[in-house]
Amino acid sequence: MFASLSDRLTATFRTLRGKGRLTEADIDGTVAEIRRALLDADVALPVVTTFTDRIRARAVGAEVSGALNPGQQVVKIVHEELVEILGGSARPLSFAKSGPTVIMLAGLQGAGKTTFAGKLAHHLKSQGHTPILVAADLQRPNAVTQLEVVGERAGVPVYAPERGVTRDDERSKGDPVKVAKNAIKEAVKRQHSVVIVDTAGRLGVDAELMKQAGDIRKAVDPDEVLFVIDSMIGQDAVATAQAFQQGVAMTGVVLTKLDGDARGGAALSVREITGVPILFASTGEKLDEFEVFHPERMASRILDMGDILTLIEQAEQKFDQVEAARMADKMAKGEDFTLTDFLSQMQQLKNMGSMKKMLTMLPGMGQAREQIENLDERELTRTEAIIQSMTPYERDNPKALNGSRRLRIASGSGTTVAQINSLVKRFEDAQRMMKAMAGGGGMPAMPGMGGGPGAFGGMPGGKKSKGKQVAPRQVKGKSGNPAKRAEQEKALRNRADAPPAPGSAFGVPQAPAPEFDPSQLPSLGKYLRG
């Protein structure tokens, strides 16, 4: 969603790198570029003005002039101000102290309220709550049926005493206010802890929509009123949010369709304009494509700093802990990494969702966006089919894969012998990497980070390793003179014992990092290509 904005901002900050001192002209130029990037991304003008004024005020002060790395300090300021615009910190849902918690969803038609209702119910169910969905949208054709389908997928019951409109030429049937009010009594009777009320929307804000939403609000007295907004509607997002704030006094905002390719900057304006926090973000149609909104993490994504915390949370939810412990024990014992292990790890990665989305959460991967977009995730399925076409003996002993065996596997998996050969080569690379890690070599070197004893063979910046550890603190060119040699070793020990220089990504004294060249990244597709 924010790819264009992210690219513009990171390109702007790149010009500040390596400068020992920033002039007022440098700061003015940077702020002007930030302003243009935000306006191009559809961020509301009042928000842009406030945002850039705060950045300029902080950048021209002692905060930047006294920093040893002023360029990085400016990036830090922009990050902090972006977090502030997005809400400062995540706010959890407010639950009722007694009785069921009532959550009312409001928004325009097509914003994704019904789909989000199912996602929220699924999320709350996973946390131990017992939600029930209420079909109070009797205006849109087949809205009740859609909610029932979503509820079935989420494994959550739906209260739908009225069918509403079933065809485009029919008028609304039933009273949505009465349905919502009776749903609370039903939830108490069935002992549901959360009631999620899906209300009707319109193509635009009108008096009828606001009256109905206001009447439902009075009838159910919700603990939360969540305004669901389509992130792709542009500048109209601000006016719509203000109208709903006045009409139903919303308590939280939900951003949907963040997986779209629109500029989406108007969605960033909603919190600043209304003062209402963003609570959730929806990134797709599937039930698990949903996340709690963390302003600091979203700001890091926009500035191409990655979102490792969300990635870790997803891994903790999806990864099989027993299987992870088995693999860790196997590595500790130095046992061989087999194709069965390779298949298991790949299936767990598939359970985490889109590989493209996971890669975009890594720092700096915005510069490799084109390679990520060209990644064919179907190759994971082909690889899975190839390994499952092998016998258990062949999975544990890939060296036994001769020509006839490979031909049989290719026929069984619907692939070619060349794809079998490519998989075996990739597996051997992965096996060498696991041996290097088990031998203390650490993770393989990544492009732009220099080589190391655990470097993945064939990747830029690393050298092939056969799992051998390199002896630490070796000195090249030791003198044959005992006195001089003793001086060399003493100097080496002093350097090793000296405390490391403090450093961070934002202006704390540190040695300048080598410039990352994204063109040196290997094609990501070759690691999945069958």
The answer to whether 166 is annotated as binding is no
The answer to whether 112 is annotated as binding is yes
The answer to whether 199 is annotated as binding is yes
The answer to whether 461 is annotated as binding is no
Instruction: Return the beta strands (E) in 171-329 as ranges.
Output: 194-199, 224-230, 252-256, 278-282, 290-292
The answer to whether 146 is annotated as binding is no
The answer to whether 201 is annotated as binding is yes
Query: Exposed/middle/buried for 505, CB within 10 Å: 0-12, 13-18, 19+?
Result: middle
* Count of CB atoms situated within 10 Å of the CB of 346: 17
The answer to whether 114 is annotated as binding is yes
- Residue whose pair of structure tokens reads 């995730």 in the numeric block: 377
The answer to whether 113 is annotated as binding is yes
Of 525, 5, 524, 523, the residue nearest 261 (C-alpha)? 5
Q: What is the DSSP string of 87-105?
A: TSS--PPPPPSSS-EEEEE
The answer to whether 109 is annotated as binding is yes
**Is the CB of residue 494 less than 8 Å from the CB of residue 61?**
no
Residue 53 CA to residue 45 CA, distance in Å, equals 12
The answer to whether 299 is annotated as binding is no
Pairing of β 290-292 and β 278-282: antiparallel
The answer to whether 110 is annotated as binding is yes
- Residue whose pair of structure tokens reads 């990739």 in the numeric block: 426
Could you tell me which residues come within 8 angstroms of residue 233 by beta carbon, excluding any fewer than 6 positions away?
108, 240, 266
**Is the CB of residue 410 less than 8 Å from the CB of residue 416?**
yes
**Is the CB of residue 308 less than 8 Å from the CB of residue 337?**
no
Residue 246 CA to residue 524 CA, distance in Å, equals 49
The answer to whether 310 is annotated as binding is no
The answer to whether 317 is annotated as binding is no
**Is the CB of residue 456 less than 8 Å from the CB of residue 429?**
yes
Q: What is the largest CA-CA distance in the chain?
A: 100
The answer to whether 259 is annotated as binding is yes
3-class secondary-structure state, position 134: strand
The answer to whether 395 is annotated as binding is no
Residue 158 CA to residue 198 CA, distance in Å, equals 10
φ, ψ dihedrals at 214, nearest 5°: -65, -40
**Is the CB of residue 529 less than 8 Å from the CB of residue 515?**
no
- Residue whose pair of structure tokens reads 């001192």 in the numeric block: 21
Residue 366 CA to residue 131 CA, distance in Å, equals 38
3-class secondary-structure state, position 161: coil
Of 278, 204, 237, the residue nearest 43 (C-alpha)? 237
Of 17, 67, 68, 33, the residue nearest 516 (C-alpha)? 17
Could you tell me which residues come within 8 angstroms of residue 529 by beta carbon, excluding any fewer than 6 positions away?
376, 379, 422
What is the CA 117 to chain-centroid distance, rounded?
21
Residue 146 CA to residue 139 CA, distance in Å, equals 13
The binding site consists of 107-114, 198-202, 256-259
The binding site for GTP consists of 107-114, 198-202, 256-259
